[in-house]
Amino acid sequence: MKASKSKAKEKKTLDQAGIDNFKASLRGELIQRSDEGYDAARKIYNGMIDKRPLMIARCADVADVITAVTFAREHDVLLAIRSGGHNGAGLGICDDGLVIDLSRMKGVRVDPAKGTVRVEPGCTWGDVDHATHAFGLAVPCGIISTTGVSGLALGGGHGYLTRKYGLTVDNLLEADVVLADGRMVTANKRENADLYWAIRGGGGNFGIVTSFLFKAHPVDTVYAGPMLWHIDQAEELMKWYRDFSTSAPKDLYGFFAFLKVPPGPPFPEHLHTKTMCGIIWCYSGPPEKAQKSLQPARDFSPPALELVGQMPFPALQTMFDALLPTGLQWYWSGDFLNELSDEAIATHIKYGSDLPTLLSTMHIYPIDGAVHRVGKDETAFSYRDANWSMVIGGIDPDPANKERITSWTKEYWKAVHPYSAGGAYVNFMMEEGQDRVKATYRGNYKRLLAVKKKYDPANLFRVNQNIKPDA
């Protein structure tokens, strides 16, 4: 009791003089509610999230991050960390607290001799792809270039190169982390190995990563793009995909989608706004085998539309950027899948053929191959036995459709969840409660809890899919 009382005394009162002092000690900016740029600075990718922080510290360097963490801890201010701002649940921002905004910290340094790349936390994957592609390299990431490196990497990270080279966390060699007490430490196999284990899937629970060191792989041009089929072929396609997806060579990755065809080029007019099903491919093996690699899909049934071709890897990564600009309304929910039973497929088709808006979608991403070669307790990311990560996304530009996309997503998820492996990818969750967080980590949750208690016992870093230290 005495200890907690004296701790409480250590807290400083939050007054304007203290805030002015904090502002003066930053190399970057401190944006407050009365500042002109405040509304722009608090906007994040998901237009459904409308939070009003007290201040936003747009950090210029690690020293700023340390200063801001210390300020939040000493003044007992709620703290959020924002890097790419793409989190669906809006966990890069908070109401009435301090946002540590890392979006200005954008350094990338490729070491072609070692095949590694050092990345600052404010980078998007587009920034990294741009830098690595010049050397014929790529780091396994997602399927779009505008997503932040930090949030994606710390939650696991799956995308076009996953079957071949693993999750993003499987390629994280080292990270610098600013801890709750203001110290900065390096986490890798040898130093702070418990922290290194926890940040590979455990999200922003343990500290603020100010530098990532990734392994990069030789990836240059890929044979990639979408193939679409009419929706009345969805059942056959999903059954074919179920078998092909897990048995295909590891050079080949294809994610399944229900979608409405965008009303513009390069899509032919007769398909505009039609609900269809499809697979978006990425073949990263030898170019002379590229054509043949996708022949089984054409043999299954000639697609109604095929936009597959050779392209630089960054071109694939940016293919859907323009369709999904910042500020859309998003509500999404996901699950890991071990199998796709006939019943599950029938349920998917019921909801997937009734997309509520032009941009709403459902994706099934493969996470087999190289992901399965890592043990489920080797990193915090635990679903090493699942074959797919599924996400249902209710998406629309119009806030008036918020309820419509939300209820469609919730109903769809409720109907297919019984066929899932139980938990979901932490980066495909809204704020869904502690049971869902526990289900994400399964057998790794206890160990995460111990690491949380060691590095952040007071839960300073709690605006995230939170591992509560007092749970």
53 binds ligand FAD (CB under 6 A): no
The residue with its CB nearest to ligand FAD is: 151
Which of these, 244, 247, 265, 267, lies nearest to 256 by C-alpha position?
A: 244
142 binds ligand FAD (CB under 6 A): yes
Strands (E), 179-314: 184-187, 208-215, 217-218, 221-230, 252-260, 275-283, 305-306, 309-312
Q: Is 140 in the site for ligand FAD (CB under 6 A)?
A: no
Query: Residue 333: enclosing H or E segment and its boundaries?
Result: strand 329-337
Positive or negative: CA dihedral 50, 51, 54, 60: negative
CB of 87 to ligand FAD, least distance (A): 3
Q: Which residues contact 370 (CB under 8 A, 6 or more apart)?
A: 162, 163, 164, 165, 166, 170, 250
Q: Contact, 392 vs 319, CB < 8 A? A: no
Examine residue 324 and tell whether it contacts ligand FAD (CB under 6 A).
yes
Report the residue number, 151 or 304, with the smaller CB distance to ligand FAD. Answer: 151
| Interaction between residue 143 and ligand FAD (CB under 6 A) | yes
Residue 294 as a binder of ligand FAD (CB under 6 A): the answer is no
Which residues 6+ apart lie within 8 Å of 64 measured at CB?
A: 26, 27, 28, 57
Window of 8-16, 80-88, 260-268, 281-289 that interacts with ligand FAD by CB under 6 A: 80-88
The answer to whether the beta carbons of residues 140 and 157 sit under 8 Å apart is yes
Q: How does 10-42 read in b/e, with b if 16+ C-beta sit within 10 Å?
A: eeeeeeeeebeebbeebebbbbbeeeeeeeebb
Least CB distance to ligand FAD at residue 351 (A): 20
Nearer to ligand FAD, 159 or 303 (CB): 159
- Interface region with ligand FAD, contact rule CB under 6 A, candidates 8-16, 31-39, 77-85, 399-407: 77-85
Q: Binding of ligand FAD at residue 201 (CB under 6 A)?
A: no
Rounded to a whole number of angstroms, the minimum distance from the CB of residue 364 to ligand FAD is 12
Compute how many other C-beta atoms are within 10 angstroms of the C-beta atom of residue 398.
Answer: 12
Q: Which of 201, 203, 334, 423 binds ligand FAD (CB under 6 A)?
A: 203
Cβ distance to ligand FAD smaller for residue 83 or 329: 83
Q: Which of 47, 53, 84, 278 binds ligand FAD (CB under 6 A)?
A: 84
Helix (H) or strand (E) holding 240: helix 234-247
Task: Based on the shown chain and the rule CB under 6 A, indicate whether residue 87 belongs to the binding site for ligand FAD.
Answer: yes
Site for ligand FAD in 26-45 (CB under 6 A): 45
**Residue 194 CB, nearest approach to ligand FAD (Å):** 16
Query: Using the rule CB under 6 A, is 138 a contact of ligand FAD?
Result: no
- Whole-number minimum distance, CB 218 to ligand FAD, in Å? 21
Q: Does 105 bind ligand FAD (CB under 6 A)?
A: no
Least Å distance, CB 370 to ligand FAD, is 15
Q: Is 204 in the site for ligand FAD (CB under 6 A)?
A: yes
Nearer to ligand FAD, 296 or 325 (CB): 325
Q: Is the dihedral of CA 187, 190, 193, 197 positive or negative?
A: positive
Backbone angles phi, psi at 133, to 5 degrees: -60, -30
Smallest distance, Å, CB 199 to ligand FAD?
8
Instruction: Tell me which DSSP letter residue 271 carries.
Output: G
Task: Rule CB under 6 A: say whether 92 interacts with ligand FAD.
Answer: yes
Residues near 376 by beta carbon (within 8 Å), at least 6 away in sequence: 382, 383, 384, 385, 442, 443, 444
Q: Which is nearer to ligand FAD, 204 or 352 (CB)?
A: 204
> Residue 94: which residues within 8 A CB-CB, separation 6 or more?
51, 53, 78, 79, 80, 463
Q: Does residue 121 belong to the site contacting ligand FAD (CB under 6 A)?
A: yes
> What CA–CA distance (Å, rounded) separates 123 from 105?
7
Q: Could you tell me the smallest distance in angstroms from the CB atom of residue 427 to ligand FAD? A: 4
Structure token pair of residue 87: 């989190």
Residue 164 found at the interface with ligand FAD (CB under 6 A) = no
Give phi and psi for 400, each to the nearest 5: -65, -20
| Separation between Cα atoms, residue 41 and residue 33, nearest integer Å | 10
405 binds ligand FAD (CB under 6 A): no
Single out the residue of 49, 72, 152, 179 in contact with ligand FAD (rule: CB under 6 A). 152
Query: 208 or 304: whose CB is closer to ligand FAD?
Result: 208
Judged by CB under 6 A, the residue of 47, 53, 85, 126 near ligand FAD is 85
Query: Closer to ligand FAD at the Cβ: 64 or 300?
Result: 64
Residues 85 and 6: their CA atoms lie apart, in Å, by 37
Q: Please measure the distance between the N-terminal and C-terminal CA atoms of the chain and give it in whole angstroms.
A: 20
Q: How far is the CB of 170 from ligand FAD (least distance, A)?
A: 12
Residues that bind ligand FAD (CB under 6 A): 45, 81-88, 91-92, 102, 121, 142-144, 147-148, 150-152, 154-155, 157-159, 203-204, 208-209, 324, 427, 463-464
